[in-house]
Amino acid sequence: MRFTCDKNLLCEVINSVSLAVASKSTLLSLEGILLKCNNNTLTLTGYNLDLGIIKTIPVENSQDGEVVLPATLFGNIINKMPDSKIDITVDKKLFTVIKCEDVEFTILGLNAQDYPEIPTISKDKEFSLDVDTLRGMISQTLFAVAQTDQNPVFKGCLFEIVDRKLLLVTLDGCRLALRKEDIDCDDNFKFLVPGKTLTEIQKLISKINLKNKEDEEKEKVYIRVSNRHIIFELDGYSIISRLIEGDVVDYRRSIPTEYKTRLKVKVRDFMECINRASIIINDRMKSPIRWEIKKDSIKLFCKTSLGQITDSFTGELTGEDITLGFNNKYMSDALKASECDEVYIETNGPLLPIKITPLDSDEFLFIVMPIRIKDEIDG
């Protein structure tokens, strides 16, 4: 196998497909990148059995063939090469010579026949949306994916298409995030995508947005779903992932439809108060923030062994006064994800869900579960 390629292009693709390369595996080939050269095109693949990323790029002076190269070593070599054309040659014994100007490396590759086969996905269920829209939907829901929960359902994001609307829903037992967008798809179906997959897609989208930010036509992402796998196609990349199997939690039952207390707040003011209170909260000294909401005042209190704080901010109250407690990180994550200047915060009682919504749409909805505070226990 042989080919010549631009260093910067090759480096960009290696860095991208490496997102799906296993850091450690009993199957050594999964720690590498599969390179396939065919008719002056080079296809690079990273795959860890759960997630795969594939990209094809043009090359010159090619001879067909394939090899698996150690991802970290290969990436480091290409990254340190001069900004010029790189020539790569692989012999029958898989010795791989990487040359650029006066620099020459020789490394040993692995047999491509030992590389696992990437799943193929039918076109039975497919839809598309703008890349920026998908980025926004992921950004506003990924924070509520469970990181350590034993239930795999909580480690995923529900994609649900109902009546030409796409809903992304995440929940971890203490909070819920829902994001909604109109979509051109007549079918109704749902599936669970691992949170880790969406994290890697976010990274790829960030690169695409930077590259195409001046383009008049918006970049699209095309999504195909089978019973066990999903593929996202954008900017020439194919991202293939396993789906999470299991019964989806009926999240709608967790969403209040009425309220006894509604507060209109400025997100920045509320977050600044939470950030100040968080100074005396850490992993060893966890304590809920006590929140008193009254017609004439909105106050926050927190006390730990490090100290105590009293703070306040303004807002517009509708309904009943209330005192409740909340986790500083959970509330801060939800407010940050709102990406709004102002939001409504609603609840029906000190131990019932706290709902956060925009002022003039139903584009998103967040729920943070309150924490019982001493007054509630004593009362």
Same structural domain for residues 102 and 157? no
How many folded domains does the chain comprise? Answer: 3
129 and 227 part of one domain: yes
pLDDT at 188: 93
Same domain as 280, residue 238: no
In terms of Cα–Cα distance, which of 179, 155, 166, 180 is closest to 223? 166
* Residue 173 clears pLDDT 90, i.e. is over it: no
Inside any domain, residue 120? no
Same-domain status, 261 and 360: yes
User: Range of 269's domain?
Assistant: 255-378
Q: Do 264 and 236 share a domain, yes or no?
A: no
For residues 237-263, give the mean pLDDT: 92
Question: Residue 268 maps to which CATH number?
Answer: 3.10.150.10
Among 114, 141, 167, where does a domain finish?
A: 114
Last residue of a domain, one of 233, 251, 269: 251
Whether residue 162 is found in the same domain as residue 100: no
Q: Specify the pLDDT at position 214.
A: 54
The answer as to whether 119 is a domain residue is no
Read off the pLDDT of residues 9-61 as tens digits, 9 standing for 90 and up.
999 999 999 999 998 888 999 999 999 999 999 999 999 999 999 999 999 99
Confidence band of 376 (pLDDT split at 50, 70, 90)? very low
Instruction: Answer yes or no: are the C-beta atoms of 33 and 68 closer than 8 Å.
Output: yes
* 136 and 246 together in one domain: yes
In this predicted structure, the answer to whether residue 74 has a pLDDT above a threshold of 50 is: yes
- Mean pLDDT to the nearest integer, 302-330: 95
Last residue of a domain, which of 230, 251, 272?
251
Say whether both 64 and 101 belong to one domain: yes
Is 219 inside a domain boundary?
yes
Residue 162 pairs in a beta bridge with: 165
Q: pTM for the full model?
A: 0.90
CB atoms within 10 A of CB 360: 9
- Residues 117-161 pLDDT 10s: 999 887 779 999 999 999 999 999 999 999 876 788 899 999 999
pLDDT for the residue 378:
38
Task: Give residue 335's pLDDT.
Answer: 98
Residue 168 in any domain: the answer is yes
Residues 245, 132, single domain; the answer is yes
Is 241 inside a domain boundary? yes
Measured from the Cβ of residue 10, the count of other Cβ atoms closer than 10 Å reads 24
Question: Do 287 and 235 share a structural domain?
Answer: no
Predicted confidence (pLDDT) at residue 84 exceeds the cutoff of 70:
yes
> Is 163 inside any structural domain?
yes
Q: What are 177-224's pLDDT values in tens digits? A: 999 999 999 999 999 999 999 999 999 888 765 555 555 467 899 999
Percent of the residues in the chain that have a pLDDT greater than 90, as a whole number? 83
Residue with tokens 């909070």: 175
Residue 310 sits in the same domain as residue 203? no
Do 357 and 268 belong together in one domain? yes
**Measured between alpha carbons, how far is 1 from 363 in angstroms, rounded to an integer?**
51
Query: Does residue 316 surpass a pLDDT of 80?
Result: yes
What is the rounded (10 degree) CA torsion for 229, 233, 239, 240?
Answer: 20
Q: Is residue 374 part of a domain?
A: yes
In percent, the amount of the chain with pLDDT more than 70 equals: 96
Average pLDDT, the chain: 92
pLDDT (0 to 100) of residue 216? 47
193 inside domain: yes
